[in-house]
Structure 1
Amino acid sequence: MTARSVGRTRGAVLTGAVWALVVTGTGVLTGCSENPDAGTNGVGKLPAATIQSKTRAAAASAGAVRLAGNVVTNGRTYTLDMRLKSGGATGSVTSKGEAFGLLRIGERLYLKADAGFWNHADGHADTSAAGKLDGKYVKVPQGDPSYRKFSGFTDKDVLLGGLLTLHGSLATDGHHEQAGTRTIRITGDKGSGGTLDVSLEGEPYPLRLQRAGGAGTLTFSAWDKDFALTEPQKDETVDYGRQLPAS
């Protein structure tokens, strides 16, 4: 082989390697004709409506999930970081700079916040009353208007059932990645009706949701990973009976 032919061969190899690197965006040289669905759960090859149906079913059957991000409803933004399962939930919610913790075990719902939250919620600066609630788990009575409002953040089926819906005509929008996991993205009305990234690895769980109309972005993780729910100690709990002072 002449020096010129060797040079041409090396140049061709280098060009092929650079092409593979550009196409894949990684240091793994897998070639330009790589099948993006190879080694996946196969949902990336399905119609968008079928993918949405499968991811909703997977989410419903999972024992637990962690949900984090922002939800905009009625003009108000809520920042959530919740772990949810059928028997209850635990986590935090922040809105308008006020943060509070939520804990639900079965039907028992507790709200935990500092004195500033209770002063703001009650609409006056009764520091003595707020001080008694500061850092305590306040049991929310089931008959109180706040129970339904706050428990909605702790109900896995209700929360996911309302969130995992795209609006308008469904379509797929290519292969993506979320937190190191390969995904297929589906959209409603080319994205104006929301987008949903669905895992291509293992169960087709939803991993990232961008809600329609700029109504928030959420990520989902720790699917089917159980977690403990611990009843607060008696000296950590305040039971106001029929109605919260903030109602």
Structure 2
Amino acid sequence: MRQRVATQLTAGLAAAVLLTGCGGSDESSEDAAASSAASSSSASEETGAEVAADAADALEEAGAAHVTGTIGTGAEEQAIDLYLQGEDATGSITVAGQEVQLLTVGGVSYFQGPADFWLSSGVPQEAVDQLVGVWVVVPATEAAAFQQLTLTGLAQELRSPTDGAVEDEVTTEELDGEEVLVVTQADGSSLYVAADDPRYPLQIVNSGDDAGTLTFDGFGEEQEITAPADALDLSELGA
């Protein structure tokens, strides 16, 4: 059972982890650059990598942020609502239509799912009652992916995206009536950064198979994030 549940949860969150790298667009880098140039004016002499690094620095200095958005389309769409604080996180991610609560504290990740989530993960009906409303420790083999869903992990991804190089040209657009700097990745995905200091990352927009948008707010607004008492280790339940 441990392997089936771990596979279900990890697959559902994979797109969320990857989106922080702004990857997955079907648009070529040439088309993306042309589109960006047509819709935006040129910004400062800073490169895209420098602006992205500024955003990472501002995020880390804030110490906390709220991230919301969706990833995927149709039946594959997933919703994210997370508070990130240093290397900790709390909130929810929708997996296969089921809202799963996620918590990361002190390098250990936990999740809590409704009955339908456990049933769709292959858990026998007779065992579901033991799991509903219970915090479960994420298996060690899957835990590394969850570390990217933290403020620290996101800042690292902004500095060194895993899914393609950042274009040198930085353009400007308006987001919610305010001027922002736009950093474009080689695959066409975009990072929107506040034009004024502090240069917070405000939005990540991705297209292609992992289409979606993540929006950031609540910078510096810390939450009380504590480890759950009596969390269950799935390995103790057997296969």
Name 1:137's counterpart in structure 2: 135
C-alpha contact (below 8 Å) 1:65/1:225 kept by paired residues:
yes
Q: Secondary structure at the match of 2:104?
A: strand
> Is residue 2:203 matched to residue 1:204?
no
Name 1:159's counterpart in structure 2: 154
Distance of 1:181 and 1:130 partners within structure 2: 48
Q: CA deviation at 1:88?
A: 1.2
Q: CA deviation at 1:105?
A: 1.8
Name 1:91's counterpart in structure 2: 91
Name 1:82's counterpart in structure 2: 82
Distance of 2:224 and 2:178 partners within structure 1: 26
Name 1:188's counterpart in structure 2: 185
C-alpha contact (below 8 Å) 1:48/1:172 kept by paired residues:
yes
Name 1:217's counterpart in structure 2: 213
Q: CA deviation at 1:101?
A: 0.4
Closer, same or farther in 2 for the Cα pair 1:212/1:59, shift >3 Å? farther
C-alpha contact (below 8 Å) 1:152/1:159 kept by paired residues:
no
Name 1:120's counterpart in structure 2: 120
Q: Secondary structure at the match of 2:235?
A: coil
> Is residue 2:235 matched to residue 1:242?
yes
Name 1:70's counterpart in structure 2: 70
AA of the residue aligned to 2:156: G
AA of the residue aligned to 1:218: L
Alignment of 1:19-58 (within 5 A): 45-49=44-48, 50-58=50-58
C-alpha contact (below 8 Å) 1:194/1:213 kept by paired residues:
no
Closer, same or farther in 2 for the Cα pair 1:238/1:230, shift >3 Å? closer
Q: Secondary structure at the match of 1:242?
A: helix
Q: CA deviation at 1:82?
A: 0.9
C-alpha contact (below 8 Å) 1:104/1:110 kept by paired residues:
yes
Q: Secondary structure at the match of 1:65?
A: strand
Distance of 2:80 and 2:237 partners within structure 1: 22
Q: CA deviation at 1:206?
A: 0.8
Closer, same or farther in 2 for the Cα pair 1:242/1:188, shift >3 Å? closer
TM-score (ref. length: structure 1): 0.64
Name 2:144's counterpart in structure 1: 148
**Unaligned 5+ residue runs, structure 2?**
1-42
Distance of 1:107 and 1:92 partners within structure 2: 18
Closer, same or farther in 2 for the Cα pair 1:167/1:55, shift >3 Å? same
C-alpha contact (below 8 Å) 1:63/1:85 kept by paired residues:
yes
Distance of 1:163 and 1:96 partners within structure 2: 27
Q: CA RMSD in A?
A: 3.0
Q: CA deviation at 1:168?
A: 5.0
Distance of 1:159 and 1:194 partners within structure 2: 16
AA of the residue aligned to 1:186: V
Distance of 2:127 and 2:106 partners within structure 1: 28
**Unaligned 5+ residue runs, structure 1?**
1-43
AA of the residue aligned to 1:200: A
Closer, same or farther in 2 for the Cα pair 1:68/1:60, shift >3 Å? same
Structure 1 segments, 4+ long, off by >6 Å, are none
TM-score (ref. length: structure 2): 0.66
